Amino acid sequence: MPEQAELDGRIARLEAALGATAKALEAAKAASDLSGELAEARAALAEAQARIETLEAEAQLRAEDVQAPVAAVPPPAAQAPAEDGVKLRAALDELQASADALRDGNEGAADAALRAENEALRAARAMDLAEMRALLEELEPMLESANA
């Protein structure tokens, strides 16, 4: 019987070794499964990087498309009609003269002051409209390229 006990002990050790080997094989299979996931993640990363490069290139092209019309448009001051500036200066001078007449107490100075102020406001409005038109002319090419 001692031989039987010795054989049983050897069998138990072999079964334990086989169990450990089976566990090691399962762990190796799990590691190989992770390598597949790693490959998928790397592929997704490569796709994302390619997409980022494409989007950056498109953004650069759009920026160049927008900057080209902006660079071609002269500054608003150059577009504003010079006569509106002369008109505004004349109206302001008239307003100053009527204000001086009011201070001196001349007859009819109040009416003249109101007329001068009205003319100054009209000239200022004309300047504002000219500036607004110039801005709209600047924005129009940019809006057209953005809608395209």
Domains of the chain by residue range = 1-72, 75-148
Q: Is-contact 92 127, C-beta < 8 A? A: no
Say what percent of the chain tops pLDDT 70: 84
CB of 91 closer than 8 Å to CB of 123: yes
Determine which of 21-35, 62-76, 117-131 has the lowest per-residue pLDDT on average: 62-76
* 138 Cβ contact partners less than 8 Å away, ≥ 6 residues apart: 70, 73, 76
Q: What pLDDT sits at residue 132? A: 92
Half-sphere exposure of 139 (CA within 13 A, CB side): 6
| Closest to 88 (Cα-Cα) out of 112, 133, 121 | 121
**pLDDT class of 99 with cuts at 50, 70, 90:** confident
* Cβ-based neighbours of 92, under 8 Å, separated by 6 or more: 120, 123
Mean pLDDT lowest for which of 21-25, 57-61, 97-101?
97-101
pLDDT of residue 79: 47
Burial class, 142, CB count within 10 angstroms (exposed 0-12 / middle 13-18 / buried 19+) = middle
Virtual torsion, Cα 133, 135, 141, 144, nearest 10 deg: -80
Question: 27 is written with which tokens?
Answer: 């762990």
